[in-house]
Structure 1
Amino acid sequence: MGRPRKSPEARRLEGNPGKRPIPETSIVAGGSVVAPDHLSDDAKACIEIIKRSLPPKTYAACDAFLLAAYASAWAEHKRCVEEVNKPEFKHVEAGSQGQPVLNPWLKHMNEQARLLLSIGARLFLDPVARAALKLADEKPASKFDGLIGQSSSSDLSRH
């Protein structure tokens, strides 16, 4: 699948050593993410944690649907884990003809985990994607920072 593409703003900030053309962004999403009412309390809490954990303006209103899908998968995964952790839980059950069958809760838990991985990468929720995430508001530090101004005057007074 590969890493998600960097935004044109991030590419401009990092420089363009390959001199490849950087496309202009014609559509800029706006608005803020609001958790849909139909989500469980666990899923709504998941969305709130994600919104607070990443820099402002990372998500727009149109991302609410993908965040809702991620949060729903997380809430369902949590429910499966709670079920599996019960003392009476059996990992292997008897099937309809007496054969050993893996408990369906385990299969469902693993499906939700795979869903979390695939959606999470698109939402910058894994370390690799977050490392590539740089916002246009952030300006790279200049090598001349601190030479003029308050910090430089305190440095000069020491000499």
Structure 2
Amino acid sequence: DIGVYALSCIRYFMSEAPSSMVSQVKLAPTGVDEQAGIVLTNDAGEMATVTMTLHAKQPKRGVIAYDKGYIEIVDYPRAHKATITYTEDGHVETFEDELGLDALAYEVLDMESTINTGVNHMHLEYTVDVMKIMTDLRREWGIKYPEEEEA
């Protein structure tokens, strides 16, 4: 389950839930997903790829590509900076927010706001989509939680 944040980022930028998925996994001796590569597509024709590992030092970076530019988020999910590069003319916009340094405090703020105002900022449907992706991956990979094991 090392991919929950990467998959959440992907789902946030896809216009609809993935409808197709292919993956490759290397399981650790303990049975957890040590390394994985996943390709997701949806009916809107969007495609996302994610690679992750427990052991190698690799950047925690999201790159979201569009027809006329791309967004780069560095150090996701604790990012404090993102850039948008417009490929037609090459100009770059940078967005910085020190809240990224407070880890995932925005989740608490979103929950508090929803409780206080009744306006849902939390995208529960995205969470449900990510949990379905992760459950489908676990089944494909043969990973079971202890409570799923037969007695």
Q: Please classify the TM superposition score into its range, dividing by the shorter chain length.
A: under 0.3
Higher-strand-fraction structure: 2
Structure ID, larger Rg: 1
Higher-helix-fraction structure: 1
